[in-house]
Amino acid sequence: MARGLNRVTLIGALTQTPELRYTPGGLAVLELNLAGNDLFTDEQGQPREVPWYHRVKLLGRMAEFWNEGLKAGMAVFVDGRLEYRTWEQEGQKRSSLEIRAERVEALNLEGKPNPTLTDARGQERLREGLNMVMLVGNLTRDAELRYTPQGIAVARLGLAVNERYSTRQGGEQEKTHFIEAQAWRELAEYASELKEGEGVFFLGRLVNDSWTAQDGSKRYVTRVELSRLERLARGTARSGGGGSQSAKADGRAGKVDIDEGLEDFPPEEELPF
């Protein structure tokens, strides 16, 4: 079983001044809406800029500490992890993939020429942002390969990242974060050989997609667009339990369960852009 790794690093500009709020149980929550540009070179050797917008959640003392210090337009560094959550709404089971901050730093952009730009909504976005995700886990299903009408290969993958944490009562629990990923072109064709249960390392960027559900409501999904994928020599889940085995934890994160108090506080589905 692969020992889990779950890291998200973002550098972006705050699109608005965050506002502190509390759950019914008294847990402080501060949401940072960050925006930036990903800079990379495409297959034709041309530079490209791709905008991104992400919501980052701060909880507890960290939320209260940063409540007065962050303003719209500031550049912020965030180090954290992806958090998979499920809840029920109007009798239907819903899920989300959130960014949970573990460290936040305000950045000084003094001396940088035109570090931000203004988008169509009047929000600031960092020109040279950072949007990086590193994951280690086990595949929840065989890779799914298909081709676009233009003949470009694309593969969809599901990953289970496991962690252990300590509760406030001193006990230990296990949790699994389920993350969707996508690879393109040669990387997609390489990924097509991967099977359920295999241990893998993912490196990529976090993206949001949206679509309209059958009931007319707007839905969103957050996934990782892969730039690198490695198969682990060990860490493969192989036993009679099949896919359910990939949901067991082996790594030890040593974190306190800060989700206590969030059960009746489901995330907002509408993203701030």
Q: How far is CA 112 from CA 14, 25, 108, 129, 238, in A?
A: 17, 43, 9, 13, 52
pLDDT digits (tens, 9 = 90+) for 100-158: 999 999 999 998 888 999 999 999 999 999 999 999 999 999 999 999 998 999 999 99
What is the domain count for the chain?
Answer: 1
Q: Domain limits at 72?
A: 5-256
> In whole angstroms, what is the distance from residue 243 CA to residue 230 CA?
20
Closest CA relative to residue 9, chosen from 126, 115, 99, 128: 99
90 within a domain of the structure (yes/no): yes
271 within a domain of the structure (yes/no): no
- Could you tell me which residues come within 8 angstroms of residue 43 by beta carbon, excluding any fewer than 6 positions away? 185
With a pLDDT cut of 70, the percent of the chain lying above it is 81
113 within a domain of the structure (yes/no): yes
DSSP class per residue in 166-201: E-TTS-EEEEEEEEEEEEEHHHHHHHTT--TT-EEE
269 within a domain of the structure (yes/no): no
- Tell me what pLDDT residue 43 has: 60
The yes-or-no verdict on residue 271 having pLDDT over 50 is no
Mean pLDDT of 236-244: 40
pLDDT digits (tens, 9 = 90+) for 163-174: 877 666 777 788
Contact, 132 vs 8, CB < 8 A? yes
The more confidently predicted of residues 207 and 92 is 207
268 within a domain of the structure (yes/no): no
The yes-or-no verdict on residue 267 having pLDDT over 60 is no
> In whole angstroms, what is the distance from residue 251 CA to residue 138 CA?
12
**Backbone torsions φ then ψ of 212, nearest 5 degrees:** -100, 125
264 within a domain of the structure (yes/no): no
When pLDDT is cut at 50, 70 and 90, the band that residue 47 belongs to is confident
- Tell me what pLDDT residue 164 has: 76
198 within a domain of the structure (yes/no): yes
pTM (whole model) above 0.85: no
SS3 239: coil
Closest CA relative to residue 237, chosen from 174, 159, 172: 159
CATH code: domain of residue 58: 2.40.50.140
pLDDT digits (tens, 9 = 90+) for 175-223: 899 999 999 999 999 999 999 999 999 999 999 887 787 788 777 788 9
Mean pLDDT of the chain: 83
